[in-house]
Amino acid sequence: MLAFLTLCYVAVLALLVWRRILPNKPITWLSTLAWIVLLLAVFFIPMQWGAPSGPARILTYSVQIIPNVAGEVIEVPVVPNEQLKEGDVLFRIDPTTYEAAVQATRAQLELQKLRLDQYSKLAARDAGTQFKVEETQAEVTRLEAELEAAEWNLRETTVRAPSDGYATFVTLRPGQRVVTVPLQSAMTFIETSRNLVTAQIAQIYIRHIKIGQPVEIAFKSRPGKIFTGEVRTIIQVTSGGQGVIGGRIPRATLDVVAEPVVVRIELDDPDAAADLPAGTVGTAAIYTQSAVMTHIIRKVTVRIESLLNYLIP
């Protein structure tokens, strides 16, 4: 943009010299340097904090599907990358042992309930002890809890989609055995019910950004189109600011880098983020209350970049 405005100034100078309005002297052409300094001082340097920009990206949630029960897979009806609704079946685990556990626990529970009824009648006639009644009642309560857990395990043999989305890279096949170890997921599920729009802004400019400020984004996958929105959240942490529990004192480093701060953006069109593929990148510009006169330059810059997306991959 600076080069474009400088070329425009030189073109005006050339026209004025050609019309003999200005003399064709070195001082005339050296005024171009003063023009560049003026643009930098008045527009382009203040624009960095008046309308800061940074790379934007569409993020989504990737859920590692780990079953709550282990066993042999007997069915995988899910089709890779096919849209699913929350609750749709991803795969089924052989329920034989879990059904047997439910039946065994239910039989024991029925027996203990029968005994509880008998002991209660005997205690009412002073032919039995209250202790036996209470002991049997405790056993009934324990078996009811075990039956509830066994029924839950049985239901968990059918693994369902945790939300709207799709399963990708589905390599699970019937006959494979799945386990409940968190380090070994059965498949990866991509949630599409909510996409997040984020932008990375340099730390030096983040002090000017406030929630609710307007935003414009030019995405690579939508050349020629400008998406509008507003700042929703300023994430107050970067990877360099986290402390991981490890039992050791953090090692001091000399190459400390000022990582950009992530800003979450909400688009004005609620369906726009859902239509953009996760991983879509672009450039976001945030219009703050500082150096308002520079906003027009940033708006032009964003629109030029949006048009250049037709040519630049």
- CATH number, domain with residue 281: 2.40.30.170
Shared domain for 74 and 46, answered yes or no, is no
Shared domain for 75 and 135, answered yes or no, is yes
Shared domain for 92 and 114, answered yes or no, is yes
Shared domain for 175 and 136, answered yes or no, is yes
Q: Give the H or E element holding residue 110.
A: helix 96-124
Shared domain for 28 and 47, answered yes or no, is no
Shared domain for 157 and 275, answered yes or no, is no
Q: What pLDDT score was predicted for residue 127?
A: 66
Domain contains 102: yes
Distance CA 65, CA 193 (A): 17
Dmax (CA) for the chain in angstroms is 128
Shared domain for 284 and 299, answered yes or no, is yes
Shared domain for 99 and 126, answered yes or no, is yes
Shared domain for 183 and 78, answered yes or no, is yes
- 226: tokens are 């400008």
Domain contains 283: yes
| Residue 85 backbone class (left: φ over 0; alpha: ψ -120 to 50; beta: rest) | beta
Domain contains 154: yes
Residue by residue, pLDDT tens for the chain (313 residues) are 777 778 887 888 788 878 778 888 788 778 888 878 877 777 788 888 899 999 999 988 888 999 999 999 999 999 998 989 999 999 999 999 999 999 999 999 999 999 888 888 887 777 667 788 888 899 999 999 999 999 999 999 999 999 888 998 888 999 999 998 887 788 999 888 778 899 999 999 989 999 999 999 999 989 999 999 999 999 887 777 776 666 777 677 667 788 899 999 999 987 887 788 888 999 999 999 988 888 998 999 999 999 999 988 7
DSSP E strand stretches across 99-213: 158-160, 165-168, 177-178, 187-191, 196-201
Shared domain for 206 and 274, answered yes or no, is yes
Domain with 24, as residue range(s), is: 1-34
The domain total for the chain is: 3
- CATH number, domain with residue 174: 2.40.50.100
Shared domain for 263 and 172, answered yes or no, is no
Distance CA 231, CA 211 (A): 5
**Is 135:141 a contact under the CB 8 Å cutoff?**
no
Domain contains 48: yes
Q: What pLDDT score was predicted for residue 286?
A: 95
Distance CA 171, CA 65 (A): 13
Q: What pLDDT score was predicted for residue 128?
A: 67
Domain contains 270: yes
Q: What pLDDT score was predicted for residue 254?
A: 67
Domain contains 245: no
**Is 58:195 a contact under the CB 8 Å cutoff?**
yes
Q: What pLDDT score was predicted for residue 251?
A: 72
**Is 229:217 a contact under the CB 8 Å cutoff?**
yes
Domain contains 104: yes
User: Does the reported pTM lie above 0.85?
Assistant: no
Shared domain for 69 and 126, answered yes or no, is yes
Domain contains 15: yes
Q: What pLDDT score was predicted for residue 42?
A: 74
